[in-house]
Amino acid sequence: MTASGRPGSSRLLLALAALAVAFAAADTYVVVLALPDMMTSVGVPADQLQRAAPIVSGFLLGYVAMLPLIGRIADLRGRVPVLVMALVLFAVGSLVTTLAYDMPSIVAGRFLQGVGGGGLVPATLALVADLYPADRRGVPLGIVSAVQELGSVIGPLFGAVVLAVADWRAIFAINLVVGLLLAVAIKRLATPPASPSVEEGRRPATRPRPDLVGILLLAVTLVAGTIVFVQPEALRRDLTWGGLFVPYAGSGRWLTPIGTIAVVAMLLLLAWCLLARRPLLDLRGWGRSLVDADLVGALLLAVALGGVILAFATADPKVEVFSPLGRWYLAVAVVGAVAFAWHLRRASDPLVPRGSLRRTPAWGALVVSFFIGSALIAALIDIPLFARTTVYPDSQLAAALVLVRFLVALPVGAVVGGYLIRRFAPGPVTAAGMLMAAVAFVLMTRWGLTTLEEPVANVALLLGGFGFGLALAPVNAALLAFTDDAVHGVASALVVVARMVGMLVGISALTTIGLRRYYAEQGVVPPVQEVCDGRSRCKEFSDLLRVAGIAQEHAVFWGAAGCAVVAAVLALVLFRQARPTSLTTRDLLSTAG
């Protein structure tokens, strides 16, 4: 069946959801090129890159830490409402980021973008399970998984194109528009058309009247808030309107008449949405969903995941896997994890229902996904770094384009993997894909100064992308086949969390290994003053440093190959029970509530 009773509407709905996932995933990497300009705009010097860490970690916190809660709400409230609300949150975060004037505001915007962008993933994966039986969901799962990973290259390219013609704020303004358009399109597509009653004496169904009070309060909040953020120079200098920007005390923007108007309007909007019968936003309903989804458990899990994210995202790999401050973050993560485990045993309706991951392929999908993420991040980060070290030292965009060869093969592999699991068990398909990735990494360890300019480099890039793509759909298929329909949302969220945490741990550990190799190689390079006594000698010294950099990347590729082999072995062992089984396709209307 379809969302609206029209043939093909479910496929269009899934296509829009996958497009939203791709766009949100791209936002994870869109700051790669824009970060220096973003720092300067909020008063952080471009040469103090370490101070920009909250811009990146804030997005990751929102993306990962809130995923299980949003996935559980998708199980309880429906996939489409969560998709729409996630897109709205993504759009609001984009608006705040666009207008940001200091570090707290830009981090808040990125956090909201992360929450919204992350919420799209479990809802879309669960939507696939709703629309397709187990023996037919392989290809759509592969497509959704592929578009999520494509964000790693789409993001930097999208940022580069926009920065070539506009300011960095235009990137997030485009995100705002696209997010709202997709939210409206998905909402309208999933809403069945009202049909007039044929019974005599009954009036045809009518649409509910719009909440004019809510719309007015929202408009005042947005206009006044935008003025607070932007502070137009013409208004500030005007004798009449300039008083709106004079603080009552201190120098805060919100302690001004216009700031007060924005805050009061927002509070009135929240109160109206809580008390009105048919408000613009059903806050009472979403509040009940938060409680039903186990908000306490979600917060405890967020503390545990947040501690891990901050421990590795703020690490200095030149010193160790995580910094001394990271040890405290990990301690907090351990406390949060213990408290979460205790809560799951005592709560009557916990975030992760007891026994939902009891089957080996279900929890095994989380473990395999962790090691896939640990290997995948080496390709996403270190292939462009290798290009910068060798053939493109002066062009970050050209180095990023090298990764396109890898990512072109990824969706192809994902679609092929989706077809293969119709005949073969997920375990062998996943193992085959990860062994291909391992072979590709081993080939990368033989790259030299000019290899990327030679056709032979395409073998490793295409083989690696195809291998990772081949493994994505079977992991999700095993998870969904061995979990109940009622927990597909939270289960899908957890497998994404496992992969993201694997990426964070993997890049920190592998980079540390690579840097140790780099410093070992650099130790045999003579001091610059001993060799750089002329142009040719300086070039020779530069080549020696590049060789040391290549040795660093080779060490990372060897480590990634090891992670890929571990993922392959675990898939064979943990997915040995997994077989394609037919399940009844559920009506989207019933899942959408």
Segment 12-26 shows an average pLDDT of 82
1 inside domain: no
Predicted local distance difference test score (pLDDT) of residue 584: 32
Segment 37-52 shows an average pLDDT of 70
Share of the chain above pLDDT 90, in %: 20
Domain end residue (candidates: 279, 304, 325): 279
Domain end residue (candidates: 325, 350, 375): 350
Share of the chain above pLDDT 70, in %: 79
72 inside domain: yes
Domain end residue (candidates: 312, 332, 350): 350
Domain match, 481 and 562 both: yes
Predicted local distance difference test score (pLDDT) of residue 517: 64
The yes-or-no verdict on residue 5 having pLDDT over 50 is no
pLDDT class of 522 with cuts at 50, 70, 90: low
Domain match, 370 and 254 both: no
The yes-or-no verdict on residue 100 having pLDDT over 80 is yes
Is there a contact between 38 and 167 (Cβ–Cβ < 8 Å)? no
Strand runs labelled E in 298-371:
none
Predicted local distance difference test score (pLDDT) of residue 127: 77
Name the token pair of 533.
């006594």
- Write out the DSSP string of 447-461: --TTGGGSTTHHHHH
Domain match, 365 and 501 both: yes
Question: What value does the mean pLDDT of the chain take?
Answer: 79
Burial of 340 from C-beta contacts in 10 A (0-12 / 13-18 / 19+): buried
Predicted local distance difference test score (pLDDT) of residue 2: 40
Segment 149-166 shows an average pLDDT of 75
Segment 194-217 shows an average pLDDT of 65
Least confident of 43-57, 223-237, 301-315: 43-57
Tell me how far apart the terminal alpha carbons of the chain are, to the nearest angstrom.
Answer: 15
436 inside domain: yes
Domain match, 167 and 43 both: yes
Segment 83-106 shows an average pLDDT of 90
CA-CA distances (angstroms) from residue 107 to 21, 38, 121? 21, 11, 22
Domain match, 373 and 230 both: no
Domain match, 418 and 433 both: yes
93 inside domain: yes
CA-CA distances (angstroms) from residue 381 to 152, 175, 428, 507? 9, 24, 27, 8
What is the sign of the dihedral through the CA atoms of 313, 317, 319 and 322? positive
356 inside domain: yes
pLDDT class of 304 with cuts at 50, 70, 90: confident
4 inside domain: no
Segment 357-375 shows an average pLDDT of 92
pLDDT tens, residue by residue, 445-496: 999 888 888 888 999 999 999 999 899 888 988 888 888 877 888 888 888 8
Name the token pair of 54.
């909250």
Greater confidence (435 vs 506) lies with 435
Neighbours of 428 (CB within 10 A): 18
Residue numbers of the domain that contains 237: 212-279
pLDDT class of 528 with cuts at 50, 70, 90: very low
Domain match, 420 and 440 both: yes
Domain match, 501 and 360 both: yes
Name the token pair of 510.
């592998």
Helices (H), 421-527: 426-444, 457-481, 488-522
CA dist 127 and 488 (Å) reads 9
CA-CA distances (angstroms) from residue 19 to 73, 112, 142, 583? 21, 19, 14, 26
What is the sign of the dihedral through the CA atoms of 287, 293, 296 and 302? negative
CA dist 360 and 89 (Å) reads 35
Burial of 84 from C-beta contacts in 10 A (0-12 / 13-18 / 19+): buried
Predicted local distance difference test score (pLDDT) of residue 532: 52
Segment 208-231 shows an average pLDDT of 89
CA dist 285 and 291 (Å) reads 10
Neighbours of 111 (CB within 10 A): 24
pLDDT tens, residue by residue, 333-354: 899 999 999 998 888 888 888 8
Predicted local distance difference test score (pLDDT) of residue 286: 85
Domain match, 466 and 530 both: yes
CA-CA distances (angstroms) from residue 356 to 297, 333, 433? 15, 23, 27
Is there a contact between 70 and 122 (Cβ–Cβ < 8 Å)? yes
430 inside domain: yes
Greater confidence (334 vs 197) lies with 334
Greater confidence (467 vs 48) lies with 467
Residue 250: DSSP 8-state: T
CA-CA distances (angstroms) from residue 413 to 418, 439, 563? 8, 15, 19
Name the token pair of 64.
């990962």
Predicted local distance difference test score (pLDDT) of residue 267: 95
Predicted local distance difference test score (pLDDT) of residue 321: 54
Least confident of 63-72, 123-132, 267-276, 433-442: 123-132
Least confident of 127-136, 189-198, 226-235: 189-198
Name the token pair of 579.
């077989």
What is the model's pTM? Answer: 0.74
CA-CA distances (angstroms) from residue 541 to 199, 536, 586? 88, 9, 65
Is there a contact between 112 and 89 (Cβ–Cβ < 8 Å)? yes
Greater confidence (288 vs 398) lies with 288
The yes-or-no verdict on residue 198 having pLDDT over 50 is no
Greater confidence (143 vs 186) lies with 186
The yes-or-no verdict on residue 572 having pLDDT over 90 is yes
Greater confidence (359 vs 199) lies with 359
Domain match, 218 and 321 both: no
Predicted local distance difference test score (pLDDT) of residue 583: 33
Predicted local distance difference test score (pLDDT) of residue 369: 93
The yes-or-no verdict on residue 125 having pLDDT over 60 is yes
Range from 74-83, 115-124, 329-338 that averages highest in pLDDT: 329-338
What is the sign of the dihedral through the CA atoms of 312, 318, 320 and 325? negative
Q: Show Cβ contacts of residue 404 under 8 Å, excluding neighbours closer than 6 positions.
A: 153
Segment 374-399 shows an average pLDDT of 80
CATH of the domain at 184: 1.20.1250.20
Q: How many domains does the chain have?
A: 3
Domain match, 20 and 153 both: yes
Spatial CA neighbour of 10 closest among 128, 182, 169: 128
Least confident of 166-170, 203-207, 483-487: 203-207
83 inside domain: yes
CA dist 385 and 126 (Å) reads 35
Predicted local distance difference test score (pLDDT) of residue 514: 65
Least confident of 47-61, 230-244, 288-302: 47-61
Is there a contact between 418 and 138 (Cβ–Cβ < 8 Å)? yes
Domain match, 403 and 455 both: yes
